[in-house]
Structure 1
Amino acid sequence: MKAIVQQRYGSPGVLRLQEVDKPAPAAHEVLVRVHAASVNARDWHVLRGDPYLARLAAPQMMGLRGPTRKIRGTDFAGRVEAVGSGVDRFRPGAEVYGDTGDVHGAFAEYVCVPAEQIEAKPANLSFAQAATMPLAGSTALSGLRDLAQLRDGQHVLINGASGGVGTFAVQIGKALGATVTAVCSTRNVDLARSLGADHVVDYTTHDFVRLGRRYDVLLDLVGNRSLGDLRRALAPGGTLVLSGGGTSRGRPGLVGPMGLLIGAQVMARVARERILVLPTPLSRELLAALRELAEAGMVSPVIDRTYKLDEVPEAIRYMEVEHARAKIVVTV
């Protein structure tokens, strides 16, 4: 089969489309014929080995000199090709979507994934649309519903509202009954409003910290503000949820966005506000909940651009350099 392979760290130019062995499902695994996959920030983090600290903290993905897993890509949607022993929820031909997690391997014609990491594809979505949802949608849903426990009538601010996670977070915030303030650039103001944002702050002309408004929940997806700034935007007893963000955009840094997350974990022990770091979510329950939201018309994926499998290097380059809006999809 054809797959996008990475042997060493570097720019998107190190990626190669190669012929590799087609995987076979082990016990409790499902082999999926990939129809679409999507690009995430973690793809270029692993591509560049960025930050250096992650090479020690996440050895299941990143070795010291090159990635542990050679085929890139995590989010996918496709049809079940075969199932391993112990799998009774899916049959060949079933339309599914999911997240390979630390195993990666979705930028390929076929991928093997544990059955617990896939779910039936939303019936009203195309494969391309469904492929955008696993990581970005799960991050937004887990961060707002589960971690922040966002409730009806509360006010939430989404910093980075036009990105992959942000576009889902705006919609999920509205689905949970909150008043949503989206922070984005001028070119994305209309997009944020179209997704249901009640208020939009254009960060090129206004600083949400200095506007004087306070929020019950603040979901930071960018990592470009200090903890002090973010805390000042919270209402008394409010909740700050941090979810990665940031890139060295070139040579890898030592700590990168992990510095903010580490600082947050220290500050959380003494701060009056709730300061929470969102782990990478991965569960069938989240995928099932996203499917229900999509089929109810409460969440609709937004796709910026679509690339073919052999164009994955250009897709990642576009995400890294051009500040893509919403999601980038790879069709297989």
Structure 2
Amino acid sequence: MTKHLSRVGLVKPLALALVATAAVAAHAQSYPSRPVQIIVPFSAGGDSDQSARNLAATATGVLGQPVVVVNRAGANGAIGSQVVKDAAPDGHTLLLARIGSNVLLPALKPPGLSYKWNDFTFIGLLELNPVVCVVHPESNYKTFADLTKDLKARPGKLNYSTSGPATVPSLAPQLLLQNLDMKPDGAVAVNYKGGGDATLAVVSRDVDFTCNNLSSMTGQIAGGKLRALVTTTPERLKQFPDVPTARELGFQPMEAVVGWSALYGPPNMAPEAVKRWAEVLQKASTDPRWIAGNATYGGIPKILSPQETEKYIAENYKTYVDLIQKTGIELK
């Protein structure tokens, strides 16, 4: 009798454990249980918006639920980023993260910013957005070496166009000057309202050079209206294979100003949702439609795991903190 009761006592806990395990598995399989929102912290039509919509098209088919892109622009991307930070961690509200809103802003620490670079769940890197330094095709600078030689020979005499003092097109030349052991005023920054205007300033020969996002200059480079001297991507650009990389030319630290898009979740996001999205991104990496979509806005596919993404962005953040401290850049 005692032996029989002992067996009954063992069976009941085992049954409860099996039920609990089944419940966890069912919960994991139920994600997503409703449409998923990807918050883009910038206005519609830009690189970040196109990146999110490109991913949403692929993810909808894989997840079996609609993936909806929602634009929440404002405050250099801080408003949309904050929305996701405050969202429920169930994986139904995600962020299309960008270097400006999620690395540069936290590094600058402007008044009122209430999130840090790592206040999110890292899901995966999506693609790189190349930065290319260009000059007018009739410029005397035929190569990047020509440009750097003249910068050193005539400090403070050359000028470059940017889309603002706290943007990648501003920091790229500053990083270049730092690599040349020059002061921040070794070249004169001329600020414009946006990347397109900064590009046109080189076309019209109002400035000597710019280091801008490729997406703002692809047509002008292809059409011979700009001469590309260097790209900050680790590998040469497929569209412009004759353009050398910063690494090839001995300026590897400039790779830090490669733009990127990534997928983030709220803090402490459910592990099953993170795992599901990691699977989605792996499928996207071989999806011809997703790859072709990247090409339309100048993105270079580069899918990374959650762990790889966190490491990549941590290194990115450190580089920008160091650069900001050395250049004294502020965002007021």
TM-score category (smaller protein)? 0.3 to 0.5
Structure number with bigger Rg = 2
Q: Which structure's residues are more often helix, by fraction?
A: 2
- Structure 1 length-normalised TM: 0.35
- Structure 2 length-normalised TM: 0.35
Q: Which structure's residues are more often strand, by fraction?
A: 1
- Which has the bigger relative contact order, CA under 8 A and spacing at least 6? 2
